[in-house]
Amino acid sequence: MKKELKNNIYGTVSTLRNLVNRMQVMLEEEIKKTQTEKENSALKTELEASRRENKRGKLETSTEREREIPKAVSRPVLQLTTIPVTIL
């Protein structure tokens, strides 16, 4: 009878440990999931803000940028002057 009771207690304790471990793993997974969802939400908000700032409402691709003709900017020309040098 004592041996049966002892085995029953060990079995119950083992089951409780397994349940606690599973609950801990589930909690950690839920925390990671929540953090990922928060990061995802923040990135979506940032993307929407970026799209609103853009005139066209979408990101420009490299081909769209290449189609636009760059504006010519006039720059002042450097004028060279000669300086007389005397050789000794």
DSSP state of 87: -
- Which residues, 6+ apart, have CB-to-CB distance to 51 below 8 Å? 57, 58, 59
Q: What is the pLDDT, as a whole number, of residue 33?
A: 95
3-class secondary structure, 37: helix
pTM for this predicted structure: 0.48
Kindly give the confidence (pLDDT) of every residue in the chain, 88 residues in length, as a single tens digit, with 9 standing for 90 and above. 888 999 999 999 999 999 999 999 999 999 999 999 999 999 999 888 888 877 555 555 666 556 666 566 666 666 666 667 677 6
